[in-house]
Structure 1
Amino acid sequence: MKSFYSRKYLATLKSRLSEPPRFMIVIAGPRQIGKSTLVRQALNGMPSTFVATDQPVSTELDPFSNVTTTTQIELGSRPTEKWLINQWSQSRAKARSLPAGKCHILAIDEIQKIPRWSEIVKGLWDADRAEQLPLHIVLLGSSPWLMQKGLTESLAGRYEPIHMSHWSYKEMQEAFDFSLNEFIYFGGYPGSADLIKDETRWRQYVRDALIKPNIESDILQMTRVDKPALLKNLFELGAGAYSGQLVSLNKVLGQLQDAGNTVTLAHYLELLSQAGLLTGLQKYAGQELRRRASAPKFNVHNNALVSAQSKYTFEQAKNDRTYWGRLVESAVGTHLINNKPDNTSLYYWRDSPDEVDFVLTSGEQLLAIEVKSSEDYAAPKGIQVFAEKFKNVTTMVVGADGVTLSDFLLEPIEKWFK
């Protein structure tokens, strides 16, 4: 990786930190995409404190004064409410000591690990605002469910989020010199980029350091899941055999080892999607009820999640045209999922035998996308049928004689709407 690479979110974070504290700043996004690195980059050279909930300091402060007590907290012990108050109180003292016009910044990583964190943060933040204390608060967390629950229940109106996504092809190319084929196969996790020359090591890293913690630490420990084996099997199947395919949940149930029902599966699929792992795209239809009743089309959020579980090596995958075509379509899906504008929604469309790989909606506008990885290109009939059936449709083919895959992945999605 280049010595210093800044993602687009860095400018947004720095801009908000340059203003007087109005809202807390919440950095949201999947695990291992550089949230902590981004914050550390922003804090460089600024009056700041960065703490993680698994690294408590050795002294505590009375929350009602600036006097340090001698009570010790064992390093590595479970974070507590008292620990959070201690960190906040120390940063308050630093903020009060700064000259006029300067602000101190307290960034807390993995905030969701602290019991009752949102209630405590609410009280501390409200007290700071009453005093007009020059103290910025930045909150980071890897569990979207606990984060969202706390933000919604206690902190509504008190924070602004910065939503980070998986790394794009452009970012992996600029930061790690990834080729297009390397991005299609190895995906966009920055932490694993330097391991791709040793595929066995890379595969093990993705499984043990990315997939396993996402499921076992973030989902199973932080959210009620009555059938953990069912959720794990759903991910393995959805990111493996069924990646890029339309499959009814009843059919999926027939392939899973643990019993369940379609409502349970739909819930688990939503949990996997919130974790930035696997999404079930719904069919585009004029009626919302028909969308929800449709068979989902599975698509990972990062192609590394497919390749790490595949038996294909990089070279073997490239030599199997059918399998490589699935990876190409999946890469287009990850680009759309991770980079689509906030005011858009993503679907697929099918009216047998016709189908469209991806449908992006923006207000009344529709963007129908067909992916063609093969050189023996033929005009896709599905797009034509879709354009005749719906209004305000822009159609495009990615690959073959259409927009090149590289150009599509390098350009902002807004460009393709007419």
Structure 2
Amino acid sequence: MKKLVKLSYIKKLHGHMEADNGFIQVLLGPRQVGKTTSTLHLLSQHFKATSDYISLEKVFNPGPEFIVENWSRAHKDKKILVIDEIQKCESWSETIKFLYDENKRLGIKTRVVLLGSSSLEIQKGLTESLTGRFQLIQAHHWNFDESNRGYKLSLDECLKFGGYPGSYPLIEQHDSWVEYLKNSIVGTVVEKDILQYQSVRSPALFRQAFEIIVGYPAQEISYTKLLGQIQDRGNVELVKHYLRLYEGAFLIKTIEKYSNKIVKTKTSSPKILPLAPCLYYLTVIDDYQSDEQGRAFELLVGAQLVRTGWPLYYWRQGKDEVDFVLKKGRRLWAIEVKSGRKKSAKGLMKFKTEFPQASPVIITKDNYIQFEKDPLAFLER
């Protein structure tokens, strides 16, 4: 049964809109995680008479004049302008910059919210044209608590199917669920958020690479090994390019090895973190073996750590390893995830020896719910 779930990023957006501080509000995140639905609900509940919502998803080839026209109308009516799928408009960032700066010159407070799902395209526009003019709010895949409150998913179900709430009604129809994930989620993201905006030499190879990449959940893997798996004659720069594109579309997160030396961190083999368990499960499509379930739980924990917004790493020295290292200012946590996989705590002890300021933390299924509720509070206790 579907139930309305209050998402943390919508609460943050609401607060920013109420503050009316003159900054452009930018809500950015994966497709099909409730950005539009939750924003529309927020508008209907709190800004029904004071907002105009438009989606460029249904507008054919929108140009700058489309933004200008709607911006002017909203300003005239003293309303908040909310534009969904902003990346679909040609020269959107330059147009928004011009209008924002004109408002500032005239002493008019800007009241605009932008929504989008193509991170690379939008980030480019934000950094090139809108620096200092916006506040970024990050949307995320659904975690266990959200999935449980909205659709009664158990933790074990979340480790397989978690991430995209639109797929949850299809869980009992296994083949339909797989088809929906592959076509309506992954396929759409690849086509609309990556290939439509980015140059990729071999689109077919690029699509094939995704299944290979997410088949190494929460695992350290060398660029050379990935290149061999993809079976391309290119070099490791091709693999790095692919990873950047998939990361920019909110499908994965690559984390680097922790080191006091920046050069070593940047040249390390990455650890690949699919940002939703269902993306990994697509490569399994069967009951998890103990080791596979352990990996799925590890990436679920990793996705929550990504939500904190602080730098996230892993660590390994010889046979000693730490699943995640989170750095917040001077604070440093060495985080070990324990579930189905047999693992030693030697890595935590070795890391503590190397970095005495680090606080060791162990996360299990028994304390996961407490951790997920507020990851930083859990680590800082």
Same fold (TM over 0.5): yes
* Structure 2 counterpart of 1:93, one-letter code: K
For 1:239-278, what per-residue CA distance to the aligned partner results, in whole angstroms no more than 9, with x for missing partners? 12x2222211111111113322112211221221121112
For 1:190-226, what per-residue CA distance to the aligned partner results, in whole angstroms no more than 9, with x for missing partners? 2112221212111111111111111122111112223
Q: What is the SS of the residue equivalent to 2:19? A: coil
1:352 and 2:318 are equivalent in the alignment:
yes
Contact 1:356 1:386 in 2 (8 A): yes
Aligned to 1:414: 377
Aligned to 1:101: none
Q: Which one has the bigger helix percentage?
A: 2
Contact 1:2 1:176 in 2 (8 A): yes
Aligned to 1:79, which of 59, 62, 87?
A: 62
Task: Name the count of aligned residue pairs.
Answer: 378
Distance 1:352 1:20, change over 3 A: closer
Q: What is the SS of the residue equivalent to 1:291? A: helix
Distance 1:19 1:397, change over 3 A: closer
Distance 1:82 1:285, change over 3 A: same
1:55 and 2:55 are equivalent in the alignment:
no
1:365 and 2:365 are equivalent in the alignment:
no
1:305 and 2:271 are equivalent in the alignment:
no
Aligned to 1:189, which of 158, 164, 167?
A: 164
* Distance in 2, Cα, partners of 1:213 & 1:307: 18
Aligned to 2:219: 245
* 1:20-31 map, 5 Å: 20=20, 22-31=22-31
Flag structure 2 segments of 5+ consecutive residues without an equivalent. none
For 1:105-140, what per-residue CA distance to the aligned partner results, in whole angstroms no more than 9, with x for missing partners? 111111111111112222222333344446621111
Aligned to 1:328, which of 290, 297, 305?
A: 297
Contact 1:13 1:42 in 2 (8 A): no
Q: What is the SS of the residue equivalent to 1:373? A: coil
For 1:5-34, what per-residue CA distance to the aligned partner results, in whole angstroms no more than 9, with x for missing partners? 221222322222223451111111122221
* Distance in 2, Cα, partners of 1:294 & 1:19: 43
Contact 2:87 2:121 in 1 (8 A): yes
Contact 2:293 2:340 in 1 (8 A): no
Contact 1:28 1:144 in 2 (8 A): yes
Q: Which moved more, 1:13-22 or 1:214-223?
A: 13-22
Q: What is the SS of the residue equivalent to 1:18? A: helix
Aligned to 1:390: 355
Give TM-score, length-normalised by structure 1. Answer: 0.84
Distance 1:158 1:364, change over 3 A: closer
Distance 1:3 1:244, change over 3 A: closer
Offset at residue 355 of structure 1 (A): 1.0
Distance 1:20 1:297, change over 3 A: closer
Flag structure 1 segments of 5+ consecutive residues without an equivalent. 57-76, 96-103
Aligned to 2:12: 12
Aligned to 1:60: none
Stretches (4+) displaced over 6 A: none
* Structure 2 counterpart of 1:329, one-letter code: E
Q: What is the SS of the residue equivalent to 1:54? A: helix
Offset at residue 383 of structure 1 (A): 1.1
1:212 and 2:187 are equivalent in the alignment:
yes
User: Percent identity among equivalent residues?
Assistant: 35
Aligned to 1:105: 80
Aligned to 2:228, which of 254, 271, 296?
A: 254
For 1:140-191, what per-residue CA distance to the aligned partner results, in whole angstroms no more than 9, with x for missing partners? 1121122111122222222211122222211112222211111111112121
* Structure 1 counterpart of 2:133, one-letter code: R
Offset at residue 40 of structure 1 (A): 0.9
Q: What is the SS of the residue equivalent to 1:222? A: coil
